[in-house]
Structure 1
Amino acid sequence: MTDFPGAPTTPSTGRLRVLAAMSGGVDSAVAAARAVEAGHEVTGVHLALAGNPQSFRTGARGCCTLEDSRDARRAADVIGIPFYVWDLAERFREDVIEDFVAEYAAGRTPNPCLRCNEKIKFAALLDKAIALGFDAVCTGHYARIVDLPDGTRELHRAVDGAKDQSYVLGVLDADQLAHSLFPLGDTTKDVIREEADRRGLAVAKKPDSHDICFITDGDTQGFLAERLGTATGDILDTDGTKLGEHDGAYGFTIGQRKGLRLGRPAADGKPRYVLDISPVDNTVTVGPASGLDVHALTAIRPRWCGAPATGEGRYTAQLRAHGEEVPVTAVLTDDQLHVRLDTPARGIAPGQAVVLYDGTRVVGSATIASTERAVEAHGV
C-alpha cells in the first residue's frame, strides 16, 4: 500500500473512511484515485451548489454545473468508488453568494473561493462527513500537510508554486486540518494530467476552472447591479474635484484602472486608479498609482492553522490570491492583526485576506479591515 504525505492514519490499520470532494475536474479526480491507491475506503461526492445548476456557467469555466457533476460521476466510475451528489445550494447561497454581495455593498472586495473553502468545503461538508462516520475529507487542492512528532499538523505551500492554493486554505483551523487530505501537494500540474490520462480519466485534458462560478457570464458588475440596483454617484480626484459619474460604487475595486469612464485625462497624462470606495456617500476616488502604496494594514477575525500567533513576529505575507509574498512584521492585539510591510504593496483592499507564512508553513489568515498608505486618498 502506497501513501501520500500528510495523510492522517488510524493507529490500528492506517485505513481511513475518506469522503472525496469531486468537482468534476482533473485535480479532484486524481486526488480521489490517490486516496484509493493509498488503501483508504473512499466515497466520492459532488456538491450541488446551485438551486438551478443550468443557471451556473456552462462548459469548463466553473465547477458547479451539470456537466461538472456528470464528469465527476464518470471519474468515480472509472476509479471504482461509490458516488453521491449532495445538495448544499441553500448553504452556498447564504454563506458565499449573499456574503459576496454584502461585502461589495459595504465597499469591500471579498474572495468567494476562500469563503467557500471556509464555510462549505471545510465546514458544512466536513461536519456532515464526520457525522456520517468518515475520518477525513479529501480534495484536489494544491497544498501540503506535514505531520509533527507530537501529533499536530501543519499546512504548507505546495511543491508547484504556480498552482499553490495555500492562500485560500489559510482559513482552516487545527481541527479541520486534522480531518483533511491534500494528495496533490507534492506534485506538479503537468504530472497530474499525465497521471489522469494513465488512469483512463476523461477529465485529463479538461481546462481548469476559473473566475467566479456563480456569475454566469463573468460580468461581476452586472451581477451586482441586478441585486443592488443602480445608484448614480460621483467619481472624484484626491482633492475632491468631480471627474465623472458611475452607476454604483459597488462596481469598483481598489486598484482598478479600466472602465472608469472619466471625462478628462489626468493633468500629467498618466493613468488613474481607484483609490477609495465610499458606500456611505456613494463616491469613488481615483488618483495616481503611487496612491495605492500600502505600508500597513489592520485585519480582523484571525484564524490560525495551529497555535495562534502571539505578540510580535516576523513573517512573510500574501495579500492576494495570486500575489507575491512580502516580508512583514505582525502584531496580534485584542483579536486584531496589525501588519507592517517592509516594502509597500499596491492594490490591497479591505475584504481581502492577509495570510501569514513562516517559510512554507501557513501560520494563519485574517480579513483586511483597513489599510494605511504613504499617500492617503481623499476621504480615507
Structure 2
Amino acid sequence: DSAVSAALLKEAGYQVTGVFMKCWSAEDSATGVCTAEEDAYWARRVAASLNIPFYSVDLVKEYKERIVDYFVSEYKAGRTPNPDVMCNNEIKFGVFYDKAIEHFNADYVATGHYARIRHDEDGTKLLRGLDKNKDQTYFLHRVPGEKLKKVMFPIGEYTKPEVRELAKKFNLPNAEKKDSQGLCFIGKVDVGDFLKKYIPTKPGAIMTADGKKIGEHEGVQYYTVGQRKGIGVGGGIPYYVIKKDIETNTLVVGTQYDEKLFENSLLLQDTAWVNDGADLPVNVQASIRYRQEPQDAVLEKDKNGFMLKFAEPQRAITSGQSAVIYNGEEVLGGGIIV
C-alpha cells in the first residue's frame, strides 16, 4: 500500500522520498518474532525500483515509551487498548510527522492508509476510504485536522484489488507480497505470549454468569470481553468472556449471545476531535471496533466525559478500546471507552 502510494505520487510529479520507521527490534521481541528487518528490506527494494531516495528513522525508544508501555499498563489495569490507534497519533503522525516536516523539509507526509482527506471552507476533513472493507479511519481518528493539512493518502480513492493491480502496473518488487498483519510494527505476535513477558501469570477461577466454576485462567489481564479463543475451557458449548473482575481475579464467561454481552450505551473519555466538536446532543454513527459498520447513536455531553447512546444494543463493548464517531463519510473524532 505504501509502495503504490509512492509510485502514484511520483507519477503525479511529486519529488518523493521513502522513509522507513524502525520501531521494534528482534532483541526486544517477547516471542523472537520481529518483521522490522524484513519490512526494511522490502521498503529499500521498492525505493530502488522507483529510483527515489531512501532513509531509515530509528524510533524504537519512542515506540517503547509511548506505545508498548501504554499497551502493557492498560492490560495490567484490566483494559484492552488499541495500540494501532495510539501508534498513528503518537508515532506516525506524531514523532515521525515532526521529523519529516522539520528534518526532511517535507511539504507533505504520505502514507498507504485507506482513507481520504477533503479540504473545504470549513477546514480539513478526514473521510472514510472508498474501500469500506479496508477503510482505516478507525485508526486515524485522533490525528487533528491541522496536521491533516500536510498529509496525503494516495490510495484512499482505490479498492484493495485496484491497488494490487497498480502494484503490478508499476512493476513493484512486492506486488505479490501478502499484507502485513498483527500489532502495529511488532508483526504477527500472539498477544498473550507478548504480555506474559511483562505481566506475571496469576491463576484464578473461570466462572459462568450463574456462579458455577468451570475452569482456571492464567490471569484476567490477558483476556478481552467478547473473546472466545484461548479461554481454556474445552468440550461442550463455546464460551465467551463477558466480564473481567480484576479485584477478585475472576473471569466470567457466557454464551455467544448472552444478554450480559450487550449494552445500549457507553462512556467516552480522553476524546480527540479532528476539528471543533459539534453542538450536543447530536445524531451520529459510531464504531466500537475496527471494521464494524458505524452504528446509529446519539452523542451527548456527560459529567464524566461523553456518552454514546446507540439505537440498537451493541455486543462486547470493551473498556480501553476506541469508539470512533462519524457523520456519514466524515470522521468527527472519538475517544477511549471507559
Distance 2:52 2:185 in 1: 28
Distance 1:226 1:29 in 2: 34
Distance 2:49 2:32 in 1: 23
| Alignment equivalent of 1:260, drawn from 226, 231, 236 | 231
**Could you list the runs of 5+ residues in structure 2 that have no partner in the other structure?**
none
Q: Does 1:189 align with 2:184?
A: no
Check 1:214–1:189 CA distance in 2 against 1; reply closer, same or farther (3 A cut).
closer
Q: Does 1:337 align with 2:306?
A: yes
Select between 27-36 and 333-342 the one with higher mean Cα deviation.
333-342
Distance 2:50 2:107 in 1: 20
Distance 2:195 2:254 in 1: 24
Q: Does 1:32 align with 2:1?
A: no
Does the 8 Å contact 2:124/2:146 carry over to 1?
no
Q: How does 1:102-251 map to 2 (within 5 A)?
A: 102-132=73-103, 133-150=105-122, 152-212=123-183, 218-251=189-222
TM-score (norm 2): 0.92
- Superposition deviation, residue 333 in structure 1: 3.7
Secondary structure of the corresponding residue to residue 338 of structure 1: strand
- Superposition deviation, residue 53 in structure 1: 7.2
**Could you list the runs of 5+ residues in structure 1 that have no partner in the other structure?**
1-26, 370-380
Q: Which amino acid aligns with 1:35?
A: L
- Superposition deviation, residue 217 in structure 1: 6.0
| Alignment equivalent of 2:284, drawn from 310, 315, 334 | 315
Q: Identity, % of aligned pairs?
A: 38
- Superposition deviation, residue 180 in structure 1: 0.9
Does the 8 Å contact 1:309/1:332 carry over to 2?
no
- Superposition deviation, residue 263 in structure 1: 7.8
Distance 1:198 1:356 in 2: 36
Q: Which amino acid aligns with 2:252?
A: T
Which residue of 1 is the match for residue 37 of structure 2?
66
Which residue of 2 is the match for residue 297 of structure 1?
266
TM-score (norm 1): 0.83
C-alpha distance after superposition, 1:119-150 (max 9, x if no partner): 10000111112222222210000001011035
Secondary structure of the corresponding residue to residue 10 of structure 2: helix
Which residue of 2 is the match for residue 84 of structure 1?
55
Does the 8 Å contact 1:153/1:174 carry over to 2?
yes
Distance 1:56 1:195 in 2: 36
Q: Which runs of 4+ in 1 moved over 4 A?
A: 53-59, 213-217
- Superposition deviation, residue 226 in structure 1: 2.1
Does the 8 Å contact 2:135/2:291 carry over to 1?
no
Q: Does 1:351 align with 2:320?
A: yes
Q: Does 1:278 align with 2:245?
A: yes
- Superposition deviation, residue 57 in structure 1: 8.4
- Superposition deviation, residue 37 in structure 1: 2.3
Does the 8 Å contact 1:330/1:338 carry over to 2?
yes
Select between 216-225 and 187-196 the one with higher mean Cα deviation.
216-225
C-alpha distance after superposition, 1:48-99 (max 9, x if no partner): 111447959899xx8x421110111111112121110000011111111121
Does the 8 Å contact 2:118/2:126 carry over to 1?
yes
Paired residues in the alignment total 335
Select between 328-337 and 154-163 the one with higher mean Cα deviation.
328-337
Does the 8 Å contact 1:170/1:364 carry over to 2?
yes
Check 1:361–1:283 CA distance in 2 against 1; reply closer, same or farther (3 A cut).
same
- Superposition deviation, residue 261 in structure 1: 3.0
Distance 1:223 1:197 in 2: 36
- Superposition deviation, residue 214 in structure 1: 5.8
